[in-house]
Amino acid sequence: MISLWVLVTGADVESYAAGLMLPPYLAHLRLSPFDFSAQPENCDGEEPLKLVYVGEGRLEEYLLDPDEHALPLIRSVCPGICDSRLHLPQDDARWSWAAVEGADSQEASYRMRIFFAPAAQSLSCRRSARRSAEANGYVSVSRGHVFVGRPMVEAYVETWLEFLSIEAPSLAYDFDMDDSQIEFSGETIGGQVFFGDDVLAKDLIRFADLDIPLQDAGRQTDIEIAEAGDVSEEGIYIPLSSFGLEE
């Protein structure tokens, strides 16, 4: 499973609001500076954003509902994104805002995440330029796992982003996570990849050109992917169950 989010600042919201078609009663008012800290508490990810417009003797509020504005805001922050290849959550949070730990100033301390995911379940492709065997990984029946090296896992994530036409240079990765997942973050994009998903684990194996060695090993003994992958700083270990292996 892949969960992605776009990171939205107050300035992004103001820029987006500048292009809205507003009702006539707001036409001659100006937008007050937008600040996430002044927004209502974000409880379930469905609360609208509140814009405040002011003029001489006037104050009006205009609400941005996530059902209508989540996808356009994603397009605003990531202009080249291929929105036909993504979908928004149906029964989960659409967006969420909170203070960012370690921020240097109040102005920079709030961000909103708008959540989405690829519509496709797998890439179904291989890495075009084969790297070293160490980077790709290996299949080992005796050790009981398939190992995919960290450089290949990172390339897999970046290929997903390329598939969605998302530009995300200088991603930072966190392989020190629980529950068989990694997390990554950039200036405007972030996400998590959970390798407990059998489909995604097989897709990663194919991407790393390890599906053929796995098939070759399977001709000698009955093996299958057993459970969620084990994430380490070196890469991902995907456990195998083997039957009929001679001791």
- Give the pLDDT confidence of 171-206 residue by residue, as tens digits: 999 998 766 889 999 999 999 998 887 888 889 999
Least confident of 78-87, 104-113, 140-149: 104-113
**Residue 208: pLDDT above 50?**
yes
**Residue 232: pLDDT above 70?**
yes
Q: What is d(CA 127, CA 211) in angstroms, rounded to the nearest whole number?
A: 12
Burial environment of residue 231 by CB neighbours within 10 A (0 to 12, 13 to 18, 19 or more): buried
Grade residue 127 by pLDDT with cuts at 50, 70 and 90. confident
Grade residue 136 by pLDDT with cuts at 50, 70 and 90. confident
Least confident of 75-89, 175-189, 221-235: 221-235
Element (H, E) at 200: helix 198-207
Q: What is d(CA 63, CA 170) in angstroms, rounded to the nearest whole number?
A: 34
**Residue 225: pLDDT above 90?**
no
Please report how the helices 150-163 and 198-207 are oriented relative to each other, as an axis angle in degrees rounded to 10: 100
- CA distance to 21, 63, 75, 112, per residue, from 50 (Å): 16, 5, 20, 13
pLDDT number for residue 138: 92
Element (H, E) at 222: strand 222-225
Cβ atoms of 66 and 46 closer than 8 Å: yes
- Residues contacting residue 204 through CB under 8 Å, at least 6 positions apart: 148, 152, 153, 156, 195, 236, 238
In the numeric block, the tokens 């519509």 are attached to: 119
- What mean pLDDT value characterizes the chain? 86
pLDDT number for residue 179: 67
Show me where the domains of the chain are located.
2-118, 133-243
Helix (H, G, I), strand (E, B) or coil at 176: coil
Q: What is d(CA 207, CA 195) in angstroms, rounded to the nearest whole number?
A: 14
Q: What is the mean pLDDT of residues 117-121?
A: 94
Cβ atoms of 166 and 81 closer than 8 Å: yes
* Region of residue 165 (left: phi > 0; alpha: psi -120 to 50; beta: else): left
pLDDT number for residue 100: 60
Pairing of strands 30-31, 58-64: unpaired
